[in-house]
Amino acid sequence: MQSLTISLIQTHLHWEEKAANLQMLEQKIMGISQKTELVVLPEMFSTGFSMKPELFAETMEGPTLQWMKRIAAEKKIVLTGSLIIEEDQKFYNRLIWMLPNGQYGVYDKRHRFAFAGEDEHYTAGSKRLIASVKGWRINLLVCYDLRFPVWARQSPSAADRAHGEAEYDLLIYVANWPERRSHAWKTLLQARAIENQCYVVGVNRVGNDGNNIYHSGDSMIVDPMGETVYTKKDEEDIFTITLNKEELMLVREKLPFLKDADRFLLLNEDDLVEEA
């Protein structure tokens, strides 16, 4: 069973300054000396958590996507993080999963943070993205999605369930999660790992944003038993770790809890028909 080496970049972000953020992040990524296969950036890594998409949105042919393609190719990594995208006259908080060959997958943040007005500026996504690399299946989500366990819940097919197989092996959240709610962040990351019997990675930013909201980072790696493997508070940090697929499978074999999970389907509002 193959291992997977991941690098987490916990960093301060220059408020609504794309060029400065891309230059800073390029230096950090290119400076990773260990061999790594996947680099994870925070939510809205090019701007910070901005509610001004009309000023900072790009298309899928824009400079930040081109930057991601170049970095992924030069470093020979998968690169992921979210940014502001405009498509069909709508704005999205869109996570990009960029491969070294220039191909990519996308996930539009499902749960918009209405407390900060995100729902007034951005359109919600309706489909999950489960990527695959080196035999690992990876569920990619964004920040506020963490509070909604059904959206992240393992839902393997009946055949997979009968053989004790899961829908995915690693759950990644990219975030701009404020320090004032850091206890919820840390607790929910551990809960998602335990209930889904998977590794969980949460990558958060540090420092004050343009609204003077402080972020303590607290980026975390949690193992399938809910134990914290790594966390870092208040400081910028680049952390690289190799995850072992065999250890994950041993947990699932020893404790085959996913076989007993409830079966369910996720429906969009458009799929529901109200009674007259």
For the annotated catalytic residues, the residue numbers are: 43, 109, 143
Pairing mode, strands 78-87 and 38-40? parallel
Q: Report CA-CA distances (Å) from 177 to 121, 197, 200, 202, 205.
A: 18, 24, 16, 10, 7
Residue 89, class by beta-carbon neighbours within 10 Å (0-12 exposed, 13-18 middle, 19+ buried)? exposed
CA distance 162 to 238: 39
DSSP H helical ranges for the chain: 18-30, 53-56, 63-75, 118-121, 149-152, 158-162, 182-196, 245-254
CA distance 12 to 205: 6
